């Protein structure tokens, strides 16, 4: 960038890549040099083109970030949750409707699958069966999205996925807003991600401090005795934080993290070490 980010650019070119990726050892008289080089006729034109270039560079960066694997995981896990929620809501509607038509009816998606194979006898049955089929199709899409999430998150955050499991890893990424944000968070924040309402209630003095958020679904937290669960959540959150940082800053696989976590949990569960240790 010693010649300036604008060096050699034609009148209709935008140097977004130069602004985004370039650097300079020290400030320089860029407007003056831009005018002297013929890039701009005056400072007003220089700053107008710099503004256009900076906006273009920011747009390119945002598009690149949005296409990144961790962002695709976030979109997919949110879509998976939406599909599952809508499938269950439709299943409830199907059960209610079916209860008004048949002496014996069931509930849930299994009943929707059963109803989807029922012979159609009249227009009301046709619409009811179609609704059951839609619920089944949504549940199938949820399952497909879950398989996609499990595959992509192992690429986007391999260590995090190995420690947390792919679905929990995806939920942590979604709650944090991406791998970079998750890598920059503290282990104490990692521990309570997903428990924001309980945390705010605690800060208002209306509830005790939450011991865990979504990491509760991990077997090492859920499967630990209640009196040890806080220690288990702290230990797991600490290792997950390390895993996220390795995934973001290094990207290599570290199987030792799993071994260390297993040993730490063994100590907590057997009471062989101070439970407050991370």
Same domain, 171 and 270: yes
Same domain, 167 and 152: no
> What are the tens digits of pLDDT across the range 39-90?
888 889 888 888 888 887 776 666 656 556 788 899 999 999 999 999 999 9
Same domain, 109 and 124: yes
In a domain, 1, yes or no: no
Q: Which among 134, 156, 178 is the end of a domain?
A: 156
In a domain, 169, yes or no: yes
Q: Is the pLDDT of residue 130 over 50?
A: yes
> What are the tens digits of pLDDT across the range 134-154?
999 999 999 999 999 999 999
Same domain, 174 and 267: yes
Q: How many domains does the chain have?
A: 3
Confidence band (pLDDT; 50, 70, 90) for 164? very high
Same domain, 76 and 179: no
CATH of the domain at 127: 1.10.287
Same domain, 143 and 63: no
Same domain, 195 and 137: no
Same domain, 162 and 54: no
Helices (H), 157-205: 158-164, 166-176, 179-184, 187-192, 196-203
Q: How many residues does the chain have?
A: 278
Q: Which among 126, 156, 186 is the end of a domain?
A: 156
DSSP helix, strand, coil percent of the chain (3-state; round to 5) = 70, 0, 30
Q: Name the residue range of residue 242's domain.
A: 157-278
Q: Is the pLDDT of residue 167 over 60?
A: yes
> What are the tens digits of pLDDT across the range 88-116?
999 999 999 999 988 888 899 999 999 99
Q: Which among 156, 185, 216 is the end of a domain?
A: 156
| pLDDT value at residue 61 | 66
Reading the block at residue 199, the tokens are 């945390």
| pLDDT value at residue 277 | 40
Same domain, 213 and 135: no
Write the Ramachandran bin of 165: left for phi over 0, alpha for psi from -120 to 50, otherwise beta.
left
Q: Is 31:46 a contact under the CB 8 Å cutoff?
A: yes
Confidence band (pLDDT; 50, 70, 90) for 190? very high
| pLDDT value at residue 104 | 83
| pLDDT value at residue 14 | 63
CATH of the domain at 225: 1.10.246.90
Q: Is 248:180 a contact under the CB 8 Å cutoff?
A: yes
Q: Is the pLDDT of residue 34 over 90?
A: no
Same domain, 267 and 186: yes
| pLDDT value at residue 27 | 66
| pLDDT value at residue 105 | 85
Task: Report the share of the chain in percent with pLDDT over 90.
Answer: 54
Q: Is the pLDDT of residue 1 over 50?
A: no
- The whole model's pTM is what? 0.70
Interior/surface letters 33-67, b for 16+ CB within 10 angstroms, e for the rest: bbbeeebbeeeeebeebbeebbebbeeeeeeeeee
């Amino acid at each position: 960038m010693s010649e300036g980010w604008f060096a050699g650019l034609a009148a209709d070119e935008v140097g977004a890549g130069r602004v985004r990726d370039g650097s300079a050892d020290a400030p320089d008289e860029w407007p003056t040099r831009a005018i002297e080089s013929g890039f701009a006729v005056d400072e007003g034109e220089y700053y107008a083109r710099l503004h256009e270039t900076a906006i273009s560079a920011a747009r390119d960066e945002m598009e690149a970030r949005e296409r990144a694997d961790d962002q695709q995981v976030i979109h997919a896990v949110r879509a998976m949750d939406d599909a599952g929620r809508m499938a269950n809501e439709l299943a409830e509607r199907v059960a209610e409707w079916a209860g008004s038509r048949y002496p014996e009816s069931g509930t849930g998606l299994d009943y929707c699958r059963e109803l989807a194979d029922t012979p159609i006898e009249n227009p009301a049955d046709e619409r009811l069966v179609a609704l059951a089929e839609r619920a089944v199709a949504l549940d199938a899409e949820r399952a497909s999205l879950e398989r996609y999430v499990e595959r992509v998150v192992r690429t986007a955050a391999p260590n995090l996925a190995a420690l947390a499991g792919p679905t929990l890893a995806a939920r942590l990424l979604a709650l944090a807003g991406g791998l970079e944000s998750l890598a920059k968070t503290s282990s104490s924040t990692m521990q309570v991600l997903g428990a924001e309402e309980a945390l705010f209630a605690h800060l208002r003095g209306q509830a005790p401090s939450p011991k865990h958020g979504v990491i509760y679904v991990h077997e090492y937290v859920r499967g630990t005795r209640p009196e040890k669960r806080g220690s288990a959540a702290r230990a797991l959150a600490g290792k997950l934080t390390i895993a996220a940082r390795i995934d973001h800053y290094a990207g290599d696989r570290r199987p030792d993290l799993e071994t260390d976590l297993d040993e730490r949990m063994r100590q907590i569960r057997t009471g062989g070490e101070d439970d407050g240790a991370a």
